[in-house]
A and B are shown apart, each in its own frame.
Chain A
Amino acid sequence: MRWLARSYLALVYLLLYVPIAVLIVFSFNDSRTGYNWGGFSLRWYESLFNNHAMVQAMWNSLWLALTAATVSTCIGALTALALHRYRFRGKKVLNGMLFVVMMSPEIVLAISLLGLFLLLGLKLGYVSLLLAHVTFCLPFVVITVMARLSGFDERLPEAARDLGASDFTMTRTVLIPVIMPALMAGWLLGFTLSMDDVVVSTFVSGPSYEILPLRIYSMVRVGLKPEVNALGTLLLVFSLVMLMLSQWILSRSKQ
């Protein structure tokens, strides 16, 4: 029985990680075709960095993810605080609408955003991408911050006020430091979502601002190039670093 359980587990992990392992291994393959091993080489990494359009798309994507995550964390944190602290008309509607954005199919969001931008006469490019990415990151940030706030001791802001802090000082010295891990988690989530979004981006991006996922997508349409393996490996390393960073932040905040 134990033997069966172990082999089942092994099979699951195999299915999960073999494709990734293959991708990493072939990114170092000297051979042009993906079927045979032609010896170790870094040539695909080299050609990747010599591909200016690709490097530009990478920087574009990073900048977009950075700004989208930051803007949605700011708006999301304020929304979460408002939903947590105050009672106001339409609170339930606002809460429900966040879930609507989160649950609705991405393609619906993409079409409606495109329609909106066309209606407004907004030129498709960085700004339209940013607005779209902030829109779909926002609910995730709000929910992450709200989860942290629900365990927040209501007496802490009162204690700060009692000791002479104004509302603003209290927010700066007590509230934000206490919910900081949630803000960071929300930011990282937004960053990741923005970084690998294809569907919405396809609709709202223009020729002036090319981003990485779309670039990769157009590359593989004309056949799988080994550069894509190298790029995939780099992205994998990048996400692992981000994951470790977020874990480290969370473990430090628990101390």
Chain B
Amino acid sequence: MTETLLSLSGISKQFDEKTVLDELSLTIDDGEFITLLGPSGCGKTTLLRMMAGFELPDKGTVTLSGVDITQTPPEKRPLNTVFQNYALFPHMSVFDNVAYGLKMEKRPKADIQERVEEALAMVQLEDFAKRKPHQLSGGQQQRVAIARAVVKRPKMLLLDEPLSALDYKLRRTMQVELKRLQRELGITFVFVTHDQEEALSMSDRIVVLKDGRIQQLGTPREVYERPANVFTARFVGQTNFFPGRVTSIEGERISVDVFGLNRDLSKPPFRVAMNQSLHVLLRPEDIRVLAPDDTEGVAGHIVERNYKGSTLDSVIELEDGSHVMASEFFDEDDPAFDYSIGERVRVSWVDGWEWLLAEEGDEPLTDEEELAADDAEH
């Protein structure tokens, strides 16, 4: 049922000898909300500008619904962009801004009138049609930019960090509103952001980018719970990296030594060998903080506590000096639940909540290699 709308294949781009995109391939499905996530300089904006037609790739092709549009100029592409700082035309009223794209299509006046009003109603700005952009607040300007981009009913809407100039509360509102718009319009959204929280809450799929390469492509849940590499794990959410060492391998189970605890875990999807070092990843909310007289876990003491309203976040220093982040929900039975700095505790987690990663340099296995590895074991 999902059809490919846009596909990029083997895209490379250099600016002044610096590689911005490196042999990147990606297909975007019709109707999905896909987010390009990464730190600044990862190539996400360049990638978006390439879809819009503002940058031409040095190598590779861009295909839209099966048609090669690599060399098509932006005005001939049925895609529209919402720019980071809105880029509203300052000399035109809100109405004329939104009507601009339709005027370029030379549509009849009555038609333009009707569709602009419809678009402004969709972003709840019907009463602002006669204003100039500078008479609007940031959030309103943002909504005009969105109305202007969707009024042509593009096949795809490209959004370049559209919420980064708004304050926190307005951002949350706009996130919900964007999701609503995408559902109502049924258009594919390609959203660029460096904010992982935004990416997780809005997207159908997330593309994690670094140095012009895709680090991981998956649903928010996959990216958060099963990061493909150390970079993704560090970039998306907070993570504890525990050093592990493989002590035994038996079929689909392995034993790993973590801080002297011997944990029995299921075998990860990459090649493991005896005595190999691994990263054992645990999100702060997966950590269980136990009483100091508990038999389970590793001993440590609280070095930091942060009241976050719905959770209590703490940092625990273990005896070997490493720090563990924990995030616990408040319990209705114990409303006074809190820690004092220096309080002794033990740290543990529920088996199966951890995620294993090879130390960097060991690439995850491809499907064929995995089959070969399985064969060798039997």
Residues of A within 8 A of B (CB): 153, 155-156, 158-166, 169, 173-174, 177-178, 180, 255
Alpha-carbon separation in the docked complex, A166 to B88 (Å): 18
**Chain B residue, CB-CB nearest to A154:** B87
Binding site secondary structure of chain B: loop
**Which residues from B are CB-within-8-Å of A164?**
75, 101, 104-105, 152
Could you give, for residues 144-160 of chain B, a 1 whenever the CB lies within 8 Å of some chain A CB and a 0 otherwise?
A: 00001100100000000
| A-facing residues in B40-98 (Cβ within 8 Å) | 52-54, 73-75, 79-81, 83-85, 87-91
Alpha-carbon separation in the docked complex, A112 to B304 (Å): 78
**Which residues from A are CB-within-8-Å of B87?**
153, 155-156, 158-159
Q: Does B226 contact A (CB under 8 A)?
A: no
A161 x B74 contact (CB < 8 A): yes
**Which residues from B are CB-within-8-Å of A173?**
100
**Which residues from A are CB-within-8-Å of B53?**
161
B81 x A159 contact (CB < 8 A): yes
Q: What is the size category of the interface that chain B forms with chain A?
A: 20 to 34
Most B-side CB within 10 Å, residue of A158, A162, A166: A162
A160 x B100 contact (CB < 8 A): yes
Q: Does B344 contact A (CB under 8 A)?
A: no
B80 x A163 contact (CB < 8 A): yes
Residues of B within 8 A of A (CB): 52-54, 73-75, 79-81, 83-85, 87-91, 100-101, 104-105, 132, 148-149, 152
A166 x B85 contact (CB < 8 A): no
Q: A162-B74, A164-B75 are in contact. Are A155 and B89 (CB under 8 A)?
A: no
**Which residues from B are CB-within-8-Å of A180?**
91
Shortest Cβ distance from A151 into chain B, in angstroms? Answer: 11
Binding site secondary structure of chain A: helix
- Which 6 residue pairs are nearest across A and B when measured between Cβ atoms? A164-B104, A155-B87, A163-B101, A159-B87, A161-B74, A177-B91
Alpha-carbon separation in the docked complex, A178 to B101 (Å): 18
**Chain B residue, CB-CB nearest to A176:** B91
Task: Find B91's partner among A158, A163, A178 (CB 8 Å cutoff).
Answer: A178
B100 x A163 contact (CB < 8 A): yes
Offer 29 A-B interface pairs, CB within 8 angstroms, sorted by A: A153-B85, A153-B87, A155-B84, A155-B85, A155-B87, A158-B52, A158-B74, A158-B81, A159-B81, A159-B83, A159-B87, A159-B88, A159-B148, A160-B100, A161-B73, A162-B52, A162-B74, A162-B75, A162-B79, A162-B149, A163-B101, A163-B152, A164-B104, A164-B152, A165-B100, A178-B90, A178-B91, A180-B91, A255-B132
Shortest Cβ distance from B161 into chain A, in angstroms? Answer: 12
**Chain A residue, CB-CB nearest to B76:** A164
**Chain A residue, CB-CB nearest to B88:** A159
Alpha-carbon separation in the docked complex, A164 to B99 (Å): 12
A155 x B83 contact (CB < 8 A): yes
**Which residues from A are CB-within-8-Å of B73?**
161
**Which residues from B are CB-within-8-Å of A153?**
85, 87
**Chain A residue, CB-CB nearest to B132:** A255
**Which residues from B are CB-within-8-Å of A162?**
52, 74-75, 79-81, 149
Alpha-carbon separation in the docked complex, A214 to B74 (Å): 55
